[in-house]
Amino acid sequence: MLVFTVLSRTPELAKMAERLGIIDGQPFLIGEDGTFDRDVNAFLRSLVDPSRPGRNTWRTYAYHLARFLCWLAQQEIAWRAVDCSVLRLYYTQRRFSQKRPVSARTWNNIAAALTRFYEWAAMTGEIAKSPVAYRDIRAGRMTAAPGTQRVRSAIMESVSARPVRYLPLKVYLAQFRPAFSDTRTSERDRAFADLQISTGMRINEANSLLLGDLPDAVEGVVIDDPRSQYIFEYLKAALNAIDKGVKLRGLSYWSA
């Protein structure tokens, strides 16, 4: 069972969490019988580090690791006894044997979590060596330990990059923007799309934008370069749409 700390919901535990070094969003794994595996949770705790990924990746790693450990329990295999043949069997079942097999990209996310977990286990002495081999592209060989020339773990699939598809503004305005209609959240969705189109923001950037970060939609933005006037006028329209959507729903979709 996965548990994530949400200190905003339990303010009475804030001092205890601070004393124990637990931060908001930190994941934990608890067994179905309530047992707490100190070693597995020590790995999840190790992810909270300046050189490690962010909160979303913690959650992803915890989810994939929890599912893998559950599968191991069904197979009656201890996680310390896992070898490359076990990883290969898990790969086969997740990618090909299920009614809804995962994609290669999803498998690579799983592989990244398992690779990091067993790297950590080997580094901390929980196991003698990682069961994950590494692919050296330049030498074209397999090596049992990570080195300076490591490119990726051998349990990852090679996935070609997705082609970039450009959406002309005229096509967006004529075909795609009208599609945001007749739904409960159409105003919000249209405003969100307008914001990305008019500013060039990525999805995660626009999604984390606070209302306080936006310029005044009424007064607009005054600039000297007339070539950019259309861009700012379009941005102003997007801001007005956001403001309207907030008033209609009574919610601040982009506020913390």
Could you state, in order of their start, the residue ranges of all structural domains in the chain?
2-153, 169-249
Q: Which helix (H) or strand (E) holds 152?
A: strand 152-153
Confidence of residue 250 (pLDDT cuts 50, 70, 90): very low
Topology, domain 2-153: DNA polymerase; domain 1 (1.10.150)
Cα(199)–Cα(39) distance, integer angstroms: 46
According to DSSP, the β-strands at 27-29 and 134-136 are unpaired
Residues 20-34: tens digit of each pLDDT: 666 666 777 777 666
The pair of structure tokens assigned to 150 is 């490591």
Q: Does the model's pTM come out above 0.75?
A: no
Per-residue pLDDT tens for 188-201? 788 888 877 777 77
Q: Which residue has the tokens 């290969």?
A: 88
Give me the pLDDT at residue 71, please.
Answer: 92
In 3-state terms, what secondary structure has residue 4? Answer: strand
Q: What tens digit of pLDDT does each residue of 153-176 get? A: 777 777 776 666 777 888 888 888
